[in-house]
Amino acid sequence: MTDIQLILASGSPRRSDLLNTMGVPFTVHVPDIDESRREEELAEDYVTRMAREKARAAYAELDPAKYAILAADTVVVQGERIYAKPRDFEHAQQIWQSLGAAKHQVMTAVCLMVHDKLSVKLGLTDVEFATITDAQMHAYWKSGEPQDKAGAYAIQGLASAWVKSIQGSYSNVVGLPLREVNELLGTIEMNWL
């Protein structure tokens, strides 16, 4: 299957950077889908559905004979609460108040679609933050970094100063669990190891 081209169905520069570290050639195609969570939808179901819908939308817009589609979606979960991207500063502040001095889980679903076959893997990472002060919240929001991030933070950026511990895949928290991606790409002989 090496003659097939890989499409990353994501506009996230962080996902592109991570995929580049694997040395896999790819092109970006961002599908336009509704990312609303369904009422009572569990985190795992939501993030998996989003990855699948992104892959299917890109698949419908491209020549399926030529491309393998890689799509992903990430959420931050704490108990029963799911934290996607913040709406505004007040929403981000509520998220940080919950995450501060507590543990949460980052969940990323990765989907590979080749022809009409879908394969999905789930990355899970536990993260614990230290206490976050109001001054830190204001300064972080003003940096512009958290606005488009699940859980209102980027572990690879300024919010790394809040991380007390991490158990699991760091790349998963950034937005693309590389071990799972490597396993999926191995099925089409595009993995790097």
In the set 45, 63, 73, 116, the catalytic residue is: 73
Q: Dig out the tokens for 90 from the structure.
A: 């007040």
Asked if residue 191 is part of any domain, the answer here is no
Asked if residue 162 is part of any domain, the answer here is yes
For the stretch 16-58, pLDDT in tens is 999 999 998 999 999 999 999 999 999 999 999 999 999 999 9
Asked if residue 16 is part of any domain, the answer here is yes
| CB contact set of 10 (below 8 Å; sequence gap of 6+) | 16, 28, 30, 54, 71, 72
Give the pLDDT of residue 2.
55
Asked if residue 139 is part of any domain, the answer here is yes
Q: State how beta strands 103-114 and 67-78 pair.
A: antiparallel
Please say if 73 is a catalytic residue: yes
Give the pLDDT of residue 193.
66
Given a contact cutoff of 8 angstroms between Cβ atoms, the answer to whether 163 and 129 are in contact is: yes
pTM score above 0.95: no
Give the pLDDT of residue 153.
97
Asked if residue 193 is part of any domain, the answer here is no
For the stretch 58-98, pLDDT in tens is 999 998 889 999 999 999 999 989 998 899 999 999 999 99
Tell me how many domains the chain contains. Answer: 1
Q: If you average pLDDT over residues 174-191, what whole number do you get?
A: 93
Q: By residue range, what is the domain housing residue 114?
A: 5-186
Element (H, E) at 15: helix 13-21
Asked if residue 69 is part of any domain, the answer here is yes
Asked if residue 25 is part of any domain, the answer here is yes
Question: What is the domain-level CATH number for residue 175?
Answer: 3.90.950.10
For a pLDDT cut of 90, what percent of the chain falls above it? 87
Taking alpha carbons only, the member of 125, 128, 146, 126 closest to residue 136 is: 146
Asked if residue 192 is part of any domain, the answer here is no
